[in-house]
Structure 1
Amino acid sequence: MEEKKRFTSSDIEIRPLYTEASAVTEKPGEFPFTRGIQKDMYRGRLWTMRQYAGFSTAEESNKRYHYLLQQGTTGLSVAFDLPTQIGYDSDHEMAEGEVGKVGVAIDSLKDMEILFEGIALEKITTSMTINATAAVLLAMYIALAKKQGADIRQISGTIQNDILKEYAARGTYIYPPKPSMRIITDIFEFCSREVPKWNTISISGYHIREAGSTAVQELAFTLANGKAYLNAALEKGLDINVFAKRLSFFFNCHNNFFEEIAKFRAARRMWAKITKDLGATDEKAQMLRFHTQTGGSTLTAQQPMNNIIRVTNQAMAAVLGGTQSLHTNGYDEALSLPTEAAAKIALRTQQVIAFESGAADTPDPLAGSFFVETLTDEIEHAAQLYIDKIDSMGGSVNAIENGYIQNEIAAAAYKYQLEIEEAGRIIVGVNRFAQKEEVVTDTLEIDESIRAIQIEKIRCLKSERNSLEVDSALYNLKKAAESADNLMPFILHAVEVYATLGEIADVLRSVFGEY
């Protein structure tokens, strides 16, 4: 009887035996960085163990940050609620039912001050998952650092700031693509001058994968978006050897262990070639640095403790793939935001891999594996076909505007779901080894009263601030948006006089329109 063929999630056939592979001759830390961006990788410095948190009010999130720092997390990662992500204050009618639900509500610099109370911004790195309103949240962070007396040239962290994947996969955009790209390049320019250690964009494949793409599509669409940002910055006259050093990436780590490792290795190699072709000569501008989060869409509500094993498998793949930063999901996140217990076991998972597994003892431990090297080549080839097609359309912005990327993701998601429903793809506890539902009672509930708390804070803020200063700052921002001026200094000033996030977003809506 003929053996059934096996394939990765990207339809790359897995052969029964691998007996040779193309040789990777470079060492870790050498162009094109297939084997890692540092010559010693984790022997020199472990990845940043970054736990994603943010819920309810700034006060509640601040307590969770102090808890995570006490448990040994080495970087903070902020989740914002939906109104904050799409530029509405908590008192806006569009915010009803969403305040504090999927992240923390931030309406003004006052909330940012509470969020980081007792935390010196100069001593930690912070990643903020924010896109359409990234300029405003970054301005609040800079304003707070200045109030703390920090040297803003020394503060470090990342804003996601990747609007193209919002149009393609996630949906939290505000303005049309072209003005959105203008805001992003304004951030690049401002930070290269004023906040040189800040990563100004985290080009995100994570949400593309969460929307249902394959590993190859995640890689291809992310790098194609990266090319679009490079070209936009080059058109603005920025030096690729300066701004490309501040670009980082954000990838998903899904279930197929070896495919994910090969994806990360291929990503570094492909990005090194893309940046070099666009004129980067500095090696640091050619390096793909990335954060990884384990796959949220792989978590199951059925038998949720199984998610601890899934997350461990994915975290190990990310480490063997050479990530610079890692977030591990809580086992209960298919049911709610993670409880403290789930957040702790997720962090301990990383610590066990780091200090007990031996995975950190040598760079690129799987280099030379016939299977891994062949799979790396095959993923690169498949992803390059997609990038070539997007280039022929005039790049990512055009490919998104005509629906190509969205349709490819939707088709892959549909195929994956059919495979699960027809049991062609086994999900343990869902379509095999199922059992009577386990009930998880300890989940995190977000109280509806949070909106009332935030509305009262906004009312107090508006009664105490200098309204003439606010009006003047918003007027100047509007004039800047109507001109070609860099918007960041105007947004920063508006934030410092306690204009709200919604007020700033509304000024930009009045000039750019909504998408």
Structure 2
Amino acid sequence: MNEKQIVTDSDITVKKLYTPEDVPVPDNEQPGQFPYTRGIQPDMYRGRLWTMRQYAGFSTAEESNKRYHYLLSQGVMGLSVAFDLPTQIGYDSDHPLAQGEVGKVGVAIDSIEDMTDLFKGIQLENVSTSMTINATAFILLALYVAQAKTQGADLSKISGTIQNDILKEYAARGTYRYPPKPSMRIITDIFEWCSNELPKWNTISISGYHIREAGSTAAQEIAFTLSNGKAYVKAALEKGLDINVFGRRLSFFFNAHNNLFEEVAKFRAARKMWAYIMKDLGATDPKALMLRFHTQTGGSTLTAQQPQNNISRVTVQTLAAVLGGTQSLHTNGFDEALSLPTEEAARIALRTQQIVAFESGVPDTVDPLAGSYFVEALTYEMQQKAQDLINRIDAMGGSIPAIEEGFIQDEIARSAYDYQRRIETQEKIIVGVNKFQVNETGTIPILKVDDVIGELQKQKLQALRNNRNQSNCDRILSDLRSRATGTENLMPVVIEAVEAKCTLGEIAGTLADVFGEY
């Protein structure tokens, strides 16, 4: 009789039994010490829990502000801002291409006035803010800084993260505006400016999340993400920046899916691999060698069928992230396969984190699964699979050529196809989808964003333009255009522009005139 073979989504064969012989290289790695497989802090969550974030943003800045105040009142430790598609790509809400999309998948931010409304009653010096923004990350960062300055904040104390990871947009997500070369120039400008002006700000969140959402395996997620990380570091080094300075402010963003042990192994392997990558690139400061990461539970794992089942899925994914040593975590609402999360769904998602933090005992010891024959063997296997992919990308010249040649996109597409095929043949069971179905008669309340939001934003933009110094705006945008043709850092003039009430679309469009569109 043939024994049943079990293979993870990363094509790692799982044995029936693991013994000490399955652990390839027994070692004495310790938490808080190179290569950080067991975590970046010696005491991990005994010293400080992970930052509990809830990704939120929809409709107008005023409506999103209400949700932020609610989440803060419920125990959220940091804010995480979702922007609508026009904001992400660099179009004002009154642009023809923005029609029907304003405020739908995130909040519409067109100007400094919207940013003021978004953070009304929230002192930016006292809260850590993460912004999921890429092509226009430099503009949103400028708006955030301008808003902090109006509050009288000490910029040396401002903390948070901009995603600012354009390479994964070309490979997996699609919200790019400019070609790769000028996009990389903007990113390194941000690295340089923040090193001098915003020392506690994480200048990039190199994202595997969207790579995984597009259909990659866990091994591909870390391979492609770390390869992108290498490309950003090399671009910064070519600009003459100090790896031990900018390297301390790099952060990562990973997905957490349902295979608990594979996910834990993924996080442990990624930390180890990045430490060696940075060491090879010349980093010596321990903080520059550490892979710090935010985790979000897997949006693509959520099902519209029997959506309450998603609460259980998110719980497993939360455990994977915490057991894997995340620094920050967002948990998805159970209704997110249907709509943006309602207030109730967001609260349940936050409570999931809080129950793991305060009731499960998981944070009481560092790296609780270390020493498990299975987890240690799986960590090694994950590292080997990811490293093989990185070696292939390096042979092509790095992430940018690999993306331009379509290699990364093709690998993700193949994995996505295989995953779906396995669901359709029931090789892979998704509860409530291809097994254990029920006839559903109940309805789940969903959050709907009214199309009137687009008209409201247009009215606000018109009022803004009527009440600003237009000649001053024209002068600043002309200066921005001139700087873009040269090599000067763009951040100071972008901050000047937003303070003068230039809009996001005007700034992004000015650079598109110079850089072109991709």
TM-score, L = length of structure 2:
0.99
Matched letter for residue 492 of structure 2 = P
Is the Cα–Cα contact under 8 Å of residues 23 and 368 in structure 1 kept in the other structure? no
Equivalent in the alignment of 2:348: 345
What is the deviation of 1:27?
1.0
Which of 158, 162, 183 is the equivalent residue of 1:159?
162
Matched letter for residue 350 of structure 2 = L
Equivalent in the alignment of 2:225: 222
Q: Give SS of 1:153's match.
A: helix
Is the Cα–Cα contact under 8 Å of residues 90 and 105 in structure 1 kept in the other structure? yes
Equivalent in the alignment of 1:482: 485
Equivalent in the alignment of 2:105: 102
Give, in whole Å, the separation in 2 of the partners of 1:36 and 1:464.
Answer: 52
Give, in whole Å, the separation in 2 of the partners of 1:8 and 1:249.
Answer: 24
Alignment map for 1:100-499 (pairs within 5 Å): 100-499=103-502
Give, in whole Å, the separation in 1 of the partners of 2:137 and 2:227.
Answer: 21
Give, in whole Å, the separation in 2 of the partners of 1:194 and 1:112.
Answer: 20
What is the deviation of 1:24?
3.5
Q: Give SS of 1:192's match.
A: helix
Equivalent in the alignment of 2:19: 19
Q: Give SS of 2:157's match.
A: coil
Which of 43, 46, 65 is the equivalent residue of 2:46?
43
* Structure 2 unmatched runs, 5+: none
**C-alpha offsets along residues 412-452 of structure 1, whole Å, 9 cap, x if unaligned?**
00000000011110000000000112433310000000000
Give, in whole Å, the separation in 2 of the partners of 1:297 and 1:167.
Answer: 19
Give, in whole Å, the separation in 1 of the partners of 2:102 and 2:26.
Answer: 53
Equivalent in the alignment of 1:5: 5
Is the Cα–Cα contact under 8 Å of residues 302 and 438 in structure 1 kept in the other structure? no
**C-alpha offsets along residues 273-311 of structure 1, whole Å, 9 cap, x if unaligned?**
000000000100000000000000000000000000000
Give, in whole Å, the separation in 2 of the partners of 1:316 and 1:212.
Answer: 22
Matched letter for residue 248 of structure 1 = S
Equivalent in the alignment of 1:31: 34
Give, in whole Å, the separation in 2 of the partners of 1:86 and 1:300.
Answer: 28
Give, in whole Å, the separation in 1 of the partners of 2:133 and 2:142.
Answer: 12
Equivalent in the alignment of 2:62: 59
Aligned residues between the structures: 515
What is the deviation of 1:4?
1.6
Give, in whole Å, the separation in 2 of the partners of 1:318 and 1:180.
Answer: 31
Give, in whole Å, the separation in 2 of the partners of 1:495 and 1:438.
Answer: 50
**C-alpha offsets along residues 121-180 of structure 1, whole Å, 9 cap, x if unaligned?**
000000000000000000000000000000111100000000000000000000000000
TM-score, L = length of structure 1:
1.00
Give, in whole Å, the separation in 2 of the partners of 1:43 and 1:60.
Answer: 36
Give, in whole Å, the separation in 2 of the partners of 1:482 and 1:507.
Answer: 11
Give, in whole Å, the separation in 2 of the partners of 1:82 and 1:506.
Answer: 15
Report which stretch shifted further, 375-384 or 21-30: 21-30
**C-alpha offsets along residues 226-280 of structure 1, whole Å, 9 cap, x if unaligned?**
0000000000000000001000000000111100000000000000000000000
Q: Give SS of 2:341's match.
A: coil
Q: Does 1:92 align with 2:95?
A: yes
Give, in whole Å, the separation in 1 of the partners of 2:472 and 2:278.
Answer: 43
What is the deviation of 1:107?
0.3
What is the deviation of 1:468?
1.1
Percent sequence identity over matched residues?
A: 70
* Structure 1 unmatched runs, 5+: none
Give, in whole Å, the separation in 1 of the partners of 2:408 and 2:224.
Answer: 7
Give, in whole Å, the separation in 2 of the partners of 1:392 and 1:438.
Answer: 54
Is the Cα–Cα contact under 8 Å of residues 291 and 323 in structure 1 kept in the other structure? yes
4+ residue stretches of structure 1 with deviation over 2 A?
437-441
Give, in whole Å, the separation in 1 of the partners of 2:424 and 2:96.
Answer: 39
What is the deviation of 1:354?
0.2
Is the Cα–Cα contact under 8 Å of residues 303 and 438 in structure 1 kept in the other structure? no
Coordinate RMSD, CA, aligned: 0.5
Label 1:438 to 1:30 Cα distance change in 2 as closer, same or farther (>3 A).
farther
